[in-house]
């Protein structure tokens, strides 16, 4: 019996010793990661913050317009008796482009001119008789009124004749005609279009928050797929009313086009300068960490990670301006944002 008890006690002792050693090993394993955690070093990339020039620009899309553009139309109906322009050529202001039939009007004008000559003689005789008291004042005034009425009729006929002549309203290039010689035109028929393309106008929009940063005579640049190179222009007018659907203002610029490389209707990519800051702090956008109460970045303070709250300003595709929180010479972390925590030891690789 005693022997069986000794064996039972021995077995229990061995089991206890085994459990004890297992617990010791597990506690050692748990302590090692904690020790390693306190002494681990995180490898990150960083840049040295330095001030640089910030040339801030606003980009927009626009449309090229002719400086002046009009569709030539006839005011009165009539038959075309002459077309005095070639399609696609330049014309000068006042050039006679199309002439409508006006022989009937000229005949009426000739008749009125003859009546005027007779009325002038009659009025002159009546004036002489009035001075000699040979006629009454009323008789003289009747003849004078008849002369004035004829003069008015002459002006009316001349105005009607001028409406049979379609002339160029300004210097420009005339387009394709839509009528033919001998055709009878009803009033307000489109004959052709004429456009002044030197200079050109550029029309584009800007958001309302940038309106007070852009003034007249601001120089802009633009590119177009219809012609290689960069073109310049100058803002000359703003639409005073904002578009309520887009909350933007319509802007127009004037652009020289002496070589006729760009044509009305072309699409344009517009660049508008807003401001220039000589000593701006610019950092990569990936370095900024958004938070509920603002934004922050990580810097290295003697090889230890430090979290700093920042205020941001102008942003573009790859960089963002920092207005508060960073200073020249700070070592800014640009990688490892998901792993780094305050007071983390860092192994830094400086990137230019």
Q: How far apart are the first and last CA of the chain?
A: 84
For the CA atoms of 319, 320, 321, 325, what is the dihedral angle to 10 degrees?
-120
Which pLDDT band holds residue 314 (cuts at 50, 70, 90)?
A: confident
Q: Is the pTM of this model over 0.75?
A: no
Q: DSSP letters along 263-312, please?
A: -TT-EEEEEEEEEEEEEEEEEEGGG-EEETTEEEEEEEETTEEEEEEEEE
Per the omega criterion (within 30 degrees of 0), is the bond before 199 cis? Answer: yes
Q: What is the mean pLDDT of residues 242-266?
A: 94
Spatial distance between the Cα atoms of 136 and 146, rounded to a whole number of angstroms: 16
Is the domain spanning 41-54+278-350 CATH 2.40.420.20? The answer is: yes
> Is the per-residue pLDDT at 117 higher than 90?
yes
Question: Are 197 and 228 a contacting pair, CB within 8 Å?
Answer: no
Residues forming beta bridges with residue 237, ordered by sequence position: 252
Helices (H) and strands (E) in the chain, counts: 3, 19
pLDDT of res. 32 = 45
Query: CA distances (Å), 88 to each of 13, 172, 177, 308, 331, in order?
Result: 113, 10, 9, 66, 64
Query: pLDDT tens digit string along 20-62?
Result: 666 656 555 554 444 444 457 888 999 999 998 887 888 999 9
Highest CATH level, class, for 76-101+164-188: mainly beta
Spatial distance between the Cα atoms of 179 and 186, rounded to a whole number of angstroms: 12
Spatial distance between the Cα atoms of 160 and 156, rounded to a whole number of angstroms: 6
Q: For residue 262, report the phi and psi dihedrals to the nearest 5 degrees.
A: -115, 150
Query: pLDDT tens digit string along 138-172?
Result: 988 999 999 999 999 999 999 999 999 999 999 99
The helix-helix angle for 137-162 and 103-131 (nearest 10°) equals 160
Q: Where in the chain is the domain with CATH 2.40.50.100?
A: 76-101+164-188
More confident residue, 209 or 267: 267
Spatial distance between the Cα atoms of 287 and 102, rounded to a whole number of angstroms: 79
Q: Where in the chain is the domain with CATH 1.10.287.470?
A: 102-161
Q: Where in the chain is the domain with CATH 2.40.30.170?
A: 59-65+196-277
Phi-psi map region of 191: left, alpha, beta (phi>0 left; psi -120 to 50 alpha)? alpha
Query: pLDDT tens digit string along 264-291?
Result: 999 999 999 987 788 889 999 999 999 8
pLDDT of res. 271 = 95
pLDDT of res. 8 = 66
pLDDT of res. 52 = 87
Question: Are 320 and 16 a contacting pair, CB within 8 Å?
Answer: no
Closest CA to 281 of 249, 305, 310, 308: 310
Q: Where in the chain is the domain with CATH 2.40.420.20?
A: 41-54+278-350
pLDDT of res. 247 = 92
| Second-level CATH architecture of 102-161 | Orthogonal Bundle (1.10)
Cβ contacts of 34 within 8 Å, gap of 6 or more = none
By CB atoms closer than 10 A (0-12, 13-18, 19+), residue 196 is: buried
Q: How many CB atoms lie within 10 A of CB 346?
A: 23
59-65+196-277 to CATH, choices 1.10.10.60, 3.20.20.140, 1.10.1200.10, 2.40.30.170? 2.40.30.170
Mean per-residue pLDDT of the chain: 89
Spatial distance between the Cα atoms of 295 and 287, rounded to a whole number of angstroms: 10
Q: What is the mean pLDDT of residues 229-244?
A: 94
pLDDT of res. 164 = 96
Q: What is the mean pLDDT of residues 232-237?
A: 96
């Amino acid at each position: 019996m005693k022997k069986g008890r000794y064996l039972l006690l021995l077995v229990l002792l061995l089991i206890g010793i085994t459990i004890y050693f297992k617990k010791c090993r597990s506690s050692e394993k748990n302590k090692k990661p904690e020790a390693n955690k306190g002494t681990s070093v995180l490898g990150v990339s960083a840049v040295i913050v330095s001030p640089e020039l910030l040339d801030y620009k606003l980009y927009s899309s626009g449309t090229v317009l002719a400086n002046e553009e009009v569709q030539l139309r006839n005011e009165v109906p009539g038959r075309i008796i002459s077309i005095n322009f070639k399609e696609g050529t330049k014309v000068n202001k006042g050039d006679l482009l199309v002439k409508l039939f006006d022989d009937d009007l000229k005949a009426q004008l000739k008749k009125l001119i003859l009546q005027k000559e007779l009325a002038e003689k009659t009025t002159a005789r009546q004036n002489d008789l009035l001075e000699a008291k040979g006629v009454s004042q009323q008789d003289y005034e009747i003849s004078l009124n008849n002369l004035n009425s004829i003069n008015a009729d002459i002006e009316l006929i001349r105005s009607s004749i001028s409406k049979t002549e379609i002339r160029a309203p300004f210097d420009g290039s005339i387009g394709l005609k839509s009528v033919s010689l001998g055709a009878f035109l009803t009033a307000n028929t489109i004959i052709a279009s004429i456009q002044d393309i030197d200079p050109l106008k550029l029309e584009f929009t800007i958001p309302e928050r940038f309106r007070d940063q852009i003034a007249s005579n601001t120089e802009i640049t633009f590119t177009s797929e219809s012609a290689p190179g960069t073109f310049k222009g100058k803002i000359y007018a703003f639409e005073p009313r904002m578009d309520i659907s887009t909350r933007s203002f319509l802007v127009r610029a004037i652009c020289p086009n002496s070589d006729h490389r760009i044509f009305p209707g072309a699409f344009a990519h517009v660049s508008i300068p807003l401001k220039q800051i000589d000593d701006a702090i610019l950092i990569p956008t990936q370095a900024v960490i958004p938070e509920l109460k603002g934004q922050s970045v990580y810097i290295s303070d003697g090889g230890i990670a430090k979290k700093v709250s920042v205020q941001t300003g102008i942003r573009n595709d790859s960089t963002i301006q920092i207005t508060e929180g960073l200073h020249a010479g700070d070592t800014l972390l640009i990688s490892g944002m998901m792993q780094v925590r305050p007071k983390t030891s860092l192994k830094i690789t400086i990137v230019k």
